[in-house]
Structures are given as C-alpha cells and as structure tokens.
Amino acid sequence: MIGTAWSAVGWHRLTLMDERPAQALPRWHTQPILGYFVVSMFLPLLTWGLPALAVLPVLALLRALDAPMILTEIAALPAGVMAIWLSLRLSPVQVSRAVQNPVHIAEAFRRTARMSRPLWGVALLGGLFLGALIKSQMLVTPLLTDAEGYYLSDTVMFLDGTFLWATFILFFLVTISIFNTIYRHMAPDTEPAENR
C-alpha cells in the first residue's frame, strides 16, 4: 500500500507540479506519501461505505429470495456508480495531500460541485470499465483451472496472477489520471461565495 501511495504521489507531482522522478523511482516525500496513504485508507469508508449501507437491505432481500446473480449485480450497480461518483467528488482530498496543499472533505465536495453532472457520466463509464475488468478476470480464471478449481499448472497460475496485476496497474493509472484532471478543473478556493 505504501508502494502504491508512493507511485501515485509521484504521478500526481509529475503531472501537476512537473516534478520529474529520480533515476529509477519517484522522489520520496515522507509527509505527502504518508498523508496520501492514510487518506486512501479512510476515505473509502465514506465514499464506498455510505452507498454500501444504502444497498445492503436490498441485497439481503434478494439473497433471502434466492434471486439470480444477475439481479444482485443490477441492484448493486447504482450503489457502485454512486460510490465512484463520491470518490471522484472527494478525490481532491487525496491529490491535494500529494501536492502539499491540503483540501478537506467538505471543501472538495464544494469545489467540485460544478463538475457534478459530468462526473456522474465518468462514474457510469468508470463503473462499466471496472465491471469489464472484473468480468474479464472472472472469464479468464475458469479457463485456467480444472473442475475442482485447481490451476492446470504452475505457469498458468503465475500468468493468471500476472494478468490480475496488469489489470490493477491499468485501473490504477487511469484512476489517478482522472483524479488529476478533476483537481485541475475544480473551482479555485478564492471563488466568490455567490458563485458556489
């Protein structure tokens, strides 16, 4: 997780501050990396926790009725999109830690208010993208395992893990780049109150 935060901070600082990495690694900045790490641990409790709480009774009901999996997925989709939208609206909290110009939760929500509608679109596309990545993983794994769920060989197992790793890197890179874009376009702090 610290490695992921270090990598993310390096990318944010490169694109927003034009800070070039060192020879083989991003530059180490203790305060921004630890701040980013802590925020990344706790922010999802809010951004994913609230939509999860909202959808839990529906999922419990569907489970009690022994509903097919597809119905559960359809019911979970709005909550997933809502969670991604909230994550995007509050992403300046994370990015601002990387560039050492802290923005707090309420402030991030206020300063991204004018991007609310396009961010619903990004959240929907993001949800579909995330769903496609998860589905691709779910489709690949059964091809590599036998009837009892064991991998066909060590090499196949290694390749499956590597595929998961590459998928995660792609998701990580696109996500932090979208976060940068939102940070660039959010309203300035000095904006008059009547325009907020």
Partner 1 sequence: MQADITITAMGVIREALTQIARNRRWLLPIMGVIWLLQLPSFFSAENFIPQDAMELMGLPPGAASLIPAVIVMLSVYIGTA
Q: Which residue, 79 or 122, is less far from partner 1 as judged by CB?
A: 122
Q: Which residue, 4 or 72, is less far from partner 1 as judged by CB?
A: 4
Name the residue among 42, 112, 122, 20 with its Cα closest to residue 81: 122
Contact 103, 184 (CB under 8 A): no
Query: In degrees rounded to 5, what are phi and psi of residue 173?
Result: -65, -45
Q: Give buried/exposed letters for 7-30 (b at 16+ CB in 10 A, else e).
A: bbbbbbbebbeeeeeeeeebeebe
Beta carbon of residue 124, minimum distance to partner 1 (angstroms, whole number): 8
Query: In degrees rounded to 5, what are phi and psi of residue 146?
Result: -85, -170
Beta carbon of residue 191, minimum distance to partner 1 (angstroms, whole number): 7
Q: Which residue, 53 or 125, is less far from partner 1 as judged by CB?
A: 125
Beta carbon of residue 55, minimum distance to partner 1 (angstroms, whole number): 23
Q: Which residue, 42 or 150, is less far from partner 1 as judged by CB?
A: 150
Beta carbon of residue 68, minimum distance to partner 1 (angstroms, whole number): 31
User: Which spans of this chain sit near partner 1 (rule: CB under 8 A)?
Assistant: 3-4, 6-7, 10-11, 14-15, 20-26, 114-115, 118-122, 124-125, 151, 154-155, 157-159, 161-162, 164-165, 168-169, 173-174, 177-178, 180-182, 184-188, 191
Work out the number of other CB atoms within 10 angstroms of the CB of residue 182.
21
Beta carbon of residue 161, minimum distance to partner 1 (angstroms, whole number): 4
Work out the number of other CB atoms within 10 angstroms of the CB of residue 92.
25
d(CA 25, CA 38): 21
Q: Which residue, 23 or 57, is less far from partner 1 as judged by CB?
A: 23
Work out the number of other CB atoms within 10 angstroms of the CB of residue 120.
16
